[in-house]
Amino acid sequence: MDLGYNKHNKYHRLVRSILITIVSLLTFVLIWWLIYYVANDPAIPSPIATFVALWELLEEGDPMTGRSLWSYVQASLTKFLSGFLLAMIVAVPIGLILGNFKLIREFTTPWIEVLRPIAPIAWAPIFILLFGYVRGATMVVFIGIVFPILTNIIFGVSKIDKVWIDASKTLGATNFQIFSKVLIPATIPYLMNGIKIGLGIGWMCIVAAELYATPLGGLGYYVANMITFAKFPEAFAGIIVIAILGLLTTGVAEYVSKRVSKRMGMDA
């Protein structure tokens, strides 16, 4: 079948990928509808009921309290961003120190390896008890993001080409200058990789942590609340919003990290 498609034409390639995405999403909705039809259970609402609920959520906010969708999104995003910033502030310097000093790294590796595999959400009850609902959820995000960033920076430091350090020494660089002018720029692509992985995990954490939360909560709280009152289409609408925001954050991270890698002339 000749559609006049030319893979060397940028516009053709764009149209092609948009078409594939649309068909893919339509198929997804079709499968969803089939599951709804076969399962015949109120816990699985139909796509149409869900989109209607989503529309109402956008227009009128929470059907029970009247809170706007935006205020839920804001509540989630605030926690997400503060958890992310906190993780950066902690992980970047510690990662650089652990990457550079073998003794400290060897000493702390058991701690990291014990703490790292724990699912972040397992901390949620403890953190909420310790820090309250809002800060507790923020800390769960922090735990989810901090390890990927940390391990990626340590890995990045270990990947630094020794010859760059030799070259800077023969150009007279002091240890501090080697640190600031070679080590830090050379680890940035790895940092970006850590951020990319961390954002995905962080977004999962925030929603999960909010399932515990009070009316101050964000989208996770909204979904949990709707399910408690058996408003399944409304719950699904909330899940769709969560998915879209998750896609946006990882998309932004992906784009930025690609730009950084290109600019730095290196891949992590």
**How near is the Cβ of 268 to another protein at its closest, in Å?**
12
Among candidate residues 198, 101, 118, the one with its CA nearest the CA of residue 154 = 101
Please say which residue, 160 or 211, places its beta carbon nearer to another protein.
Answer: 160
Residues 194 and 91: beta-carbon distance below 8 Å: yes
Please say which residue, 41 or 267, places its beta carbon nearer to another protein.
Answer: 267
Please say which residue, 187 or 249, places its beta carbon nearer to another protein.
Answer: 187
**How near is the Cβ of 98 to another protein at its closest, in Å?**
9
Please say which residue, 156 or 200, places its beta carbon nearer to another protein.
Answer: 156
**How near is the Cβ of 47 to another protein at its closest, in Å?**
47
**How near is the Cβ of 94 to another protein at its closest, in Å?**
15
Please say which residue, 33 or 101, places its beta carbon nearer to another protein.
Answer: 101
Please say which residue, 183 or 208, places its beta carbon nearer to another protein.
Answer: 183
Q: In the numeric block, which tokens belong to residue 114?
A: 């014990």
Please say which residue, 67 or 181, places its beta carbon nearer to another protein.
Answer: 181
Question: Using CA atoms, how far apart are residues 34 and 179, in angstroms rounded to an integer?
Answer: 58
Would you call 41 helix, strand, or coil by DSSP?
coil
**How near is the Cβ of 157 to another protein at its closest, in Å?**
6
Q: In the numeric block, which tokens belong to residue 147?
A: 């390890």
**How near is the Cβ of 185 to another protein at its closest, in Å?**
5
Q: In the numeric block, which tokens belong to residue 22?
A: 């649309």
* 197: CB partners within 8 A, 6+ apart: 148, 152
Among candidate residues 197, 225, 257, 231, the one with its CA nearest the CA of residue 75 = 225
Question: Using CA atoms, how far apart are residues 222 and 184, in angstroms rounded to an integer?
Answer: 41
Q: What residue ranges bind another protein (CB under 8 A)?
A: 99-102, 105, 154, 157-175, 177-179, 181-183, 185-186, 188, 263-266
Backbone angles phi, psi at 3, to 5 degrees: -100, 10
Which amino acid, 145? I
**How near is the Cβ of 88 to another protein at its closest, in Å?**
20
Residues 141 and 85: beta-carbon distance below 8 Å: no
One DSSP character per residue, 87-102 reads: HHHHHHHHHHHHHH-H
- Length of the chain in residues, anyone? 268
